[in-house]
Structure 1
Amino acid sequence: MTSSAAISTPPVTTVAAQASSSDAAASDTITTGVAKGRDRLDSATSTSSLKESDITKLAPRSIGDLLRDVPGIRSEAATGEGLASVSIRGLPLASSGIKFVQLQEDGLPVLEFGDIQGLGPDSLIRADLNLSQVEVIRGGSASTFASNSPGGLVNFISKTGEVEGGAIALTGGLDYDQYRADFDVGGKLDDIARFHLGGFFRQGEGPRRTGYDAQRGGQVKLNVTKTFTGGYIRLYGKYLDDRSPFYDTVPVRATGSNTSPKVQEIASFDATRDMLLSRYIRTNLVLDGSNNPVVHDIAEGFTTKVKSVGLESQLDLAGWVVTERFRFSNVSGGFVTPFTSTFLPATQAAALLGGVGARLSYANGPLAGEGITDPATLNGNGLLAALNILNLRIRSYRNVTNDIRASRVWQVGDGDLTTTAGFYAARQTIARDALWSTMISDVRGDGRAALIDVTAASGRVLTQNGVYAYNLALAGGTRRRSVDLDYAVNAPFASANYHIGRIAIGASIRYDFGTAEGRVFGSDLGGGRVGTVARDIDGDGVISVPETRVGVTPLTSPAPVDYNYRYLSYSSGINFRIAEPLAVFARYSRGARANADRILFSPIVNIADGSLANRSAAYDPVKQAELGVKYRENGLTLNLTGFWAEAQDTNVDVVNSQIIQRDYRATGLEFEGGVRRGLFALTAGATYTDAEITRDAVNPAVVGNTPRHQAKLIFQATPQITTDRFSLGAVFIGTTGSYSQDTNVLKTPGFVTTNTFAQIRLTERLMLGVNASNLFDTLAITTFDEAAIPASGILRARPLNGRTVSATVRFDF
């Protein structure tokens, strides 16, 4: 990782490892979130970057997993390929998703809002051989050089054919079922044109056991660049069609106290390798968004389909450098999975669902029809799961974005004044149907859990092939919802930076204004809207007990959404180059994040006319200050940044549907460093954060508490040895404990995970690599869904994957 305080991983050639300090400065340049790329020691920003060689060694299992290795970023990558919860420098994770940080691909956002329900921006990005590097900017000018990104920007930059040749890489899991093929090729088409083409395909069960191929799909990306005097024009396209499972909460047993829980895995279930999916739990019968019966395969998991085309150009026009970026993305898919399910002792669950004397039996699987005579010893853990099956049909998350800007460098006195002005426009569609059903299953791993039928003492069967209800029964049949919305975002922006001698002073401003328009459907809106009916959903001529609980969408009584917003963002900083290797900087910024679908189906939006009950809920402002020092010389880089932030968050918790309207404050220190001596290199980072809730309009009792999931310390360290023939190293990533919820009762234990990598160059063009993620199989729990240990001692935990080891053969040409 490279940054204003971390050096790049030494390349495999010893000659390159002896690069001069001037060469290092030339490569230590950031282009994301600034008007013009410049040496980090001349920029009043906190930045990092991951080069292709770094990413290859890390071999991340997901984008969320990759972001865990970036200092200052808190990434809860326990959900699989998408929907990671990500924040930065103490900004809150009041619900889920990526609210205050924007993920970009080649300078434009992949989704305008990072916390849209059901499909996060990390679900639309894959780390493959197309990826040249990842640039990260924390705070600072991120507030003014992009909309909805006050916390920071993460930009995934594609290769564009500057380097002739390509590679083919074949990867297989050594202790888990996955096979993957990657390729890329690029180079010149003629003297003024070049191209790059790449992609991947993979298939297998994945890092956790499901009993079927839960991962299958891939992507292809192509770009063509034509250069001319004074600029270039680039056309590019991307096709992604991929599916991967969502890793929901898993049961663990907790003893001890809330402040120091002792967490153990339950019998017949490995918390880091198993999940609630199974080869026997596949069929999901529901009414679709038009209230017609439909069957979906739970194996769909995350199904993500993206078709995007774009244009990027740069032109030198009368001394002005004009840059235009445009992209259209057609995004659709599905999300079928158990979501925040409930685990109960089987004897208690039988009585709760079927009354005194209720009996349990297997609905399917190898023991189909057999009765469960001793529920207390079922699978050695005595548990049943009430599976909340969320079936989210993403009809369209289409987005169109355009960013045009013009920059010019003026000679003013003895210094250079860089001015930039531009306009950003985006349109984001959110059209989806949220469908639910409730199933009962036993709790066991290895993809072999089976559905359970419940029969009352009277002999009346209360389930139908393991289905308890065709709605979200545990929440009273609520949360069946459809939305059809369009969000418009517009923003003029400008900046000026004056660099004279050792001093660089800069300021930038952005004015965002936008609208939210459309319709929403759901019984949660009230007003007599019906969300549950009795219906013969399977068409057998008989209405079973579960068929008296069928979720429907009240299509004839939509509620409008119709409001607008506007806010001002600004940022100003000064950087002083004390000496060639040493600089100090200070920056103050104000930005904001416009709210999208997270505030719907709550009193925040008036169901009569679609306006906001409180206009301040349209966006959440963030104020930040930074003061830092940066050093880089002779293979050593160091950075220490103090930060302060105040943030507002208006949200609705997706787990319990509670409204969140509160303010936060965070202060802390962020360290990054790197050293290289001969064959040895070490990069490291650590972030200390002291955060608290300063206001809560809904629950004042939590004021003064530490925000949930906020650890005091997160840290990373990567030691490695590199020669012209091999590279060997490890990645240590850790966190201290944090509270699972804002009530500050139950603490989630801290942990350290260890990843290792080894690469051997067998010939000049042939390389063999082995990567181990979570080598020591640590039970690394990112959080619990509960606020305290219940009487049963069973907690719903969100752990990272256990140990997975993969091997890669790569041929370069």
Structure 2
Amino acid sequence: MQHMSKGVSRMFRRSFVPFLLAAVAMPAFAQEAAPQSDMDTIIVTGRAAGSEMRKAEASFAITTIDQQSLKVAPPISTADLFRRVPGFWVEGSGGEGSNNVRSRGIPTDGYSSVGLHENGIPVQYDGALGYLNPDQSFRIDDTIARVEAVRGGPASIFAPNAPGGVVNFITRKGTDTPDGAGSVRYTFTDTTAHRVDAWYGREIAPNVGLFVGGFYRQGDGMRDMGFTAEKGGQIRATLNYDDGVNSATLDVRHMDDRTPFYLPVPLTFDADGGIKQVSGFDALNDTLAGSNNKLVSIKNVGGPYEFDLTEGSHTKLTVITFEAKMRIMDGVRFETRNRYRTSDILRNALFPTGNVDTIANYQASLLSQAKAGGFSTATGIRLTYADDGTAVPSNANGNGLLVQGNLLSVSVPLDEMISDNRITADIANHALAVGVSYAHSQYRFDRYMGTTLLDVRGNARRVDATAVNASGVAVGRVTDNGFLRYGSLFDNVGMNTDSVAVYGGDEWQITPQIRVDAAARYEKLSFNGLVAGKTTVNLGDPTTLADNSVTTFSGAFTNVDESFSGFGWTLGANWQFQPNMGVFARYTDTFRLPSPGEWNGNPTRTDMAKVPIKMGEVGFKYGSEMLSLFVTGFWTKFERLTLTDWYFDNASNSYKSRIAIAGSETFGVEAEAMFRPFEWGDLAVALTWQDPQYKNFKYTDSAGKVWDFSGNQLMRVPKLGLRVTPGVNLFDDRLRAEAVIEHYTKRYPDIANTQVLPAYTLVGLNLRGQVTENIALGFNVSNLFNKLGLTEGNPRAGSFISGDLGAQYFLARPDFGRVIRASATVTF
């Protein structure tokens, strides 16, 4: 299959690209013009007032991504789109879901501090529930009309759990195309993936629109999994009414989609200390997960758990949204946004953990375990493959290495209801808003895991370790079917949550050039539920150590009943001294309330509290046909943050945790610019420079050593992120071609800053050509030169102090290798 995909890639290079260039030389046909200055774009994100506001007038930093940009460079995932926004550091190497986003030096992972919204309503109220990132519940397709991204500023006042910002995906509606319009797009990827996106919308009665759209796809995945790893899609249906004064929309979205979750891969160093691939393992295209561990029985109390790796991250979700805006009287409107979701989300993955080490070193360690486990006459360890019993050679796969891997299954069913209601009023020079939101959710968290021993290759095989005496006779088994430990992790949680927030704001236009805005939010979070107690049992097989300590339900539950509240406010001002030029300043004193997910594995914890957050920013914006420029200086300070270091202990084959309370402070500059020196050419730049540091962070490790992490660079966040996109529009704007150059400076995978993830640069290409009035061709290449860019280290080796420090081999997660996509779109 891999050879086939490479052949198809060559076919595209030889035939598709010349065809694309030839096609655009045909007679001119109308198509959307290349984007000009977006200063006049009307924005809806980051504010509660009902009056219109141009992007040029905003007193906060906001990035807008229009439909044409989405067509030229369709993002592979939600995280991939976030990379276009300055201020965000994005780790998109996990695939289409479960990625990490950090904004302006905010030291939390996942989407815990960045809101992911759809039409102004959270996709998921709390993005930090644990193994349930909002991007697992959302997919970008051609039903998206545009995107607005707000960093910092008022985001945390008008949206929950969003001190870092809000990214709002705004969908198409039937009234957008009164006479009817739609498209069908087919995309082929050289990873042997096929995808169809389609939509159609029209007005079915005066001011009444109907819209349907979605996608379906199937493919082998961004890395070679050895089986069909991507399969599924989503469909959306929307009925809306809009007469220019009153509006109402009913939207239903259903998703049934599964994608792989990609995890770290083994790496090593060359003679000069540079990072390189391990022999026999392609770090850009291979993954330890694969067909050998596709269907595996994990022994458990009462019967085996059937682990299915082909499920990957499987989301089954239905979302029903109703929103309306109604005029009460001149200048006064009522707005309501309501969303109900029911979902069943499963994440099955192979998590590499422990040390990547030589077979000889592993044999010595396993021998010690065998003797300590009761096989006292053992003098050696014999290694065989679990699937066929053949011997593991000392130089297996050309590297002679082994690694541990956790087969982890997590199920998080979630039912959630969100209602956000506000009244807006335009009185004299004031745009006022007051609102209340309520969210209720019920979720379960079920987790089970077994720890295996693996060789190091693409699609790794499980390895069995048998203890033998001096005569070579087996005296016991350290493993069983390749498992070092069954039941190395177990959780069972049921939780109910309730959140109530009251907010209000005023935008005061003091003069035609000067506007001051202020807003505040009070929120209270309550949650209660049951967390299963845990104990370890011996399943009773005396011939193996693998079933001696199976973690399971103790028979008792611990009740969790917690509540937290917070008050935040923001004050901003905008001086628009020219229609196309202005400056703004803002100060925000806000908060992040704890997530109920923090109690999943520790129901009696008392260290969690409201996290106070202070933010300041000063910005300049300018727009003309030749140049659009937005520059923002920012400051972010976390005063009390509970940090938990979950790390995998090799000796016990179990997770352990360390907790510390610290702060952070970041100064930085964001800039985004679009320079159009010629009608046929432009240059886009998105830049973030920041100095993100931990503050007041002293930590005592298990050996009693005191570490002072104050002043260290925030984990996994680069100081400089730069994205440069030069583009040209040829053949009367019928061909758009652009290069995408991304550069990131070095980062550290641990808070101690003991291990370096080197700086790297990625290059991509995007082409879109209008062949006829109704047919367009697209061609996209990411990571053109197959650069090895490491986005994260190995969190399971310890995020406080990396357990990989000083090792010859280590685990890290690179960006994907070169991926080629070709598409054809028919509009009607």
TM-score, L = length of structure 2? 0.88
Letter in 2 for 1:168: V
Aligned positions of 1:253-652 closer than 5 A = 253-255=268-270, 261-286=273-298, 292-319=303-330, 320-342=332-354, 343-355=356-368, 356-364=379-387, 368-372=388-392, 374-375=393-394, 377-394=395-412, 396-411=413-428, 416-445=429-458, 447=459, 449-458=460-469, 459=474, 460-472=476-488, 479-499=489-509, 500-523=511-534, 530-534=535-539, 544-554=544-554, 556-600=555-599, 607=604, 613-614=606-607, 617-647=608-638, 648-652=640-644
2:747: which partner in 1? Answer: 738
Aligned pair count? 755
Letter in 2 for 1:633: S
Give the counterpart of 2:711 among 701, 704, 713. Answer: 704
Shift of 1:340: 4.1
Distance in structure 2 (CA, Å) of the matches to 1:669 and 1:340: 36
Aligned positions of 1:64-103 closer than 5 A = 64-93=79-108, 96-103=109-116
**Are 1:754 and 2:769 an aligned pair?**
no
**Are 1:208 and 2:223 an aligned pair?**
yes
**Are 1:727 and 2:736 an aligned pair?**
yes
Shift of 1:788: 6.6
Say which SS state the counterpart of residue 56 (structure 1) adopts. helix
Shift of 1:757: 1.0
Say which SS state the counterpart of residue 364 (structure 2) adopts. helix
Letter in 1 for 2:518: A
Cα pair 2:737 2:767 within 8 Å, conserved: yes
**Are 1:150 and 2:157 an aligned pair?**
no
1:160: which partner in 2? Answer: 173
Shift of 1:35: 2.4
Distance in structure 1 (CA, Å) of the matches to 2:353 and 2:63: 38
Say which SS state the counterpart of residue 136 (structure 2) adopts. helix
1:539: which partner in 2? Answer: none
Letter in 1 for 2:527: A
Distance in structure 2 (CA, Å) of the matches to 1:711 and 1:685: 15
Cα pair 1:287 1:551 within 8 Å, conserved: no
Aligned positions of 1:708-719 closer than 5 A = 708-719=715-726
Cα pair 1:140 1:588 within 8 Å, conserved: yes
TM-score, L = length of structure 1? 0.89
Pair 1:533–1:18, CA change in 2 (3 A): closer
Distance in structure 2 (CA, Å) of the matches to 1:744 and 1:487: 37
CA deviations 1:650-696 (Å, max 9, x no partner) are 24234453224210011111111112230112211111111211122
Cα pair 2:680 2:733 within 8 Å, conserved: no
Cα pair 1:13 1:724 within 8 Å, conserved: no
Greater CA deviation, 46-55 or 648-657?
A: 648-657
Letter in 2 for 1:652: T
Distance in structure 1 (CA, Å) of the matches to 2:299 and 2:519: 51
Pair 1:334–1:788, CA change in 2 (3 A): closer
Distance in structure 2 (CA, Å) of the matches to 1:602 and 1:464: 27
CA deviations 1:38-93 (Å, max 9, x no partner) are 11221211000112221232232221122112111111111111111111111114
Cα pair 2:755 2:805 within 8 Å, conserved: no
CA deviations 1:87-134 (Å, max 9, x no partner) are 1111114xx312211111111111122222212111111111111111
**Are 1:693 and 2:707 an aligned pair?**
no
2:14: which partner in 1? Answer: none
CA deviations 1:13-51 (Å, max 9, x no partner) are 889759997xx5443534444424411221211000112
Pair 1:79–1:519, CA change in 2 (3 A): same
1:476: which partner in 2? Answer: none
Distance in structure 2 (CA, Å) of the matches to 1:773 and 1:88: 23
Say which SS state the counterpart of residue 198 (structure 1) adopts. strand
Say which SS state the counterpart of residue 690 (structure 1) adopts. strand
Distance in structure 1 (CA, Å) of the matches to 2:613 and 2:724: 30
Say which SS state the counterpart of residue 315 (structure 1) adopts. strand
Distance in structure 2 (CA, Å) of the matches to 1:256 and 1:399: 54
Shift of 1:793: 0.8
2:816: which partner in 1? Answer: 801
Distance in structure 1 (CA, Å) of the matches to 2:112 and 2:646: 14
Shift of 1:214: 0.7
Pair 1:229–1:685, CA change in 2 (3 A): closer
Shift of 1:544: 4.7
CA deviations 1:587-623 (Å, max 9, x no partner) are 00022221114532677x5x3xxxx635xx2321211
Aligned positions of 1:172-191 closer than 5 A = 172-174=188-190, 176-191=191-206
Distance in structure 2 (CA, Å) of the matches to 1:237 and 1:128: 15
CA deviations 1:749-785 (Å, max 9, x no partner) are 0111111111121111111111101111110101222
**Are 1:223 and 2:238 an aligned pair?**
yes
Letter in 1 for 2:584: F
Distance in structure 1 (CA, Å) of the matches to 2:624 and 2:576: 13
Question: Percent identity among equivalent residues?
Answer: 27
Shift of 1:285: 2.4
Alignment RMSD (CA, Å): 2.2
Say which SS state the counterpart of residue 769 (structure 1) adopts. strand
Cα pair 1:218 1:240 within 8 Å, conserved: yes
Shift of 1:531: 3.0
Pair 1:735–1:566, CA change in 2 (3 A): same
Letter in 2 for 1:455: T
Shift of 1:553: 2.1
Shift of 1:697: 5.9
Shift of 1:551: 2.9
Distance in structure 2 (CA, Å) of the matches to 1:571 and 1:32: 12
Pair 1:13–1:50, CA change in 2 (3 A): farther
Cα pair 1:33 1:153 within 8 Å, conserved: no
Cα pair 2:45 2:168 within 8 Å, conserved: no
Letter in 2 for 1:359: R
1:4: which partner in 2? Answer: none
Pair 1:544–1:746, CA change in 2 (3 A): closer
Letter in 2 for 1:397: L
Cα pair 1:480 1:522 within 8 Å, conserved: no
Pair 1:155–1:543, CA change in 2 (3 A): farther
Letter in 2 for 1:296: F
CA deviations 1:276-310 (Å, max 9, x no partner) are 1111111232467x965331311111111111111
Distance in structure 2 (CA, Å) of the matches to 1:229 and 1:38: 16
Structure 2 unaligned residues grouped into runs of 5+ = 1-27, 369-378, 649-656, 701-706
Shift of 1:328: 0.5
Cα pair 2:351 2:405 within 8 Å, conserved: yes
Cα pair 1:177 1:207 within 8 Å, conserved: no
Distance in structure 1 (CA, Å) of the matches to 2:98 and 2:606: 29
Structure 1 unaligned residues grouped into runs of 5+ = 1-11, 473-478, 524-529, 537-541
Distance in structure 1 (CA, Å) of the matches to 2:233 and 2:588: 39
Shift of 1:256: 6.8
Shift of 1:744: 1.5
Shift of 1:791: 5.0
Letter in 1 for 2:546: P
Cα pair 1:149 1:592 within 8 Å, conserved: no
